[in-house]
Each structure stands twice: as structure tokens, then as C-alpha cells.
Amino acid sequence: MTVTANPTVTTIGGRQVHVDAEGFLTELSEWDEDLAHELAQLIGIELTEEHLEVIRFLRKDFAEKGETATTRRVQVVGGIPVQRQFALFPQKPGKKMAYVAGLPKPHGCV
């Protein structure tokens, strides 16, 4: 898998996408589940249907609320316990879930 970058455009999985300095997509319309698989591979995650359920929740919630859900919101509203989020997206689940979902980092996420 080749990843090349300049300040705002990078190539992931053979297609160009717009990103910020940390690699998060800036054009939400460029995201699809195929790209999600590519993004997940870049951070060492092999997506399963369970991962995709979390990602779909994040995308739906973002469309409704206009901001990326925190791990707490994913637990309370999405029904996915924080412990499970850590199991699916180790170490920094909020940041990793948002990255794979093609969304901005949640507020308060470093």
C-alpha cells in the first residue's frame, strides 16, 4: 500500500483524498467503506462488521449533530461500551474511530 502526501492531498489505496496535517479527511464526501478499510489498514486494524457498525454510528451521528461523537457518546447513544471501543480500536479509540470514519477528531482528543 502506497501513501504519498503533500499539505492537503494524499493518495490512499490508489485514490487522492484531501486531509489535514494529521491525516484526517477534510472532504467528508470522499469517504466510503472501501476507503475505511484502507484507512484502518494504515493504523494496523483489520475491519470487521463490528468495527463497521461503530463507524456507521459515528457517520450517522455526525450527520445529525455536526460534530464527531466522543467515546462517551458512542457508549451512551450508540450503545457500544468504552471497553469494547478500546478492544476494537486499541489505545486511542476516539481518534482512531474518527480517522477510519473519515471524520474530524472529537473535541478534547489529542
Residues belonging to the active site: 109
CA 31 – CA 21 distance, rounded (Å): 17
Cα Dmax for the chain: 38
Angle, CA of 97, 102 and 107, to the nearest 5°: 60
CA 67 – CA 69 distance, rounded (Å): 6
Instruction: Select from 86, 64, 83, 82 the least CA-distant residue to 73.
Output: 82
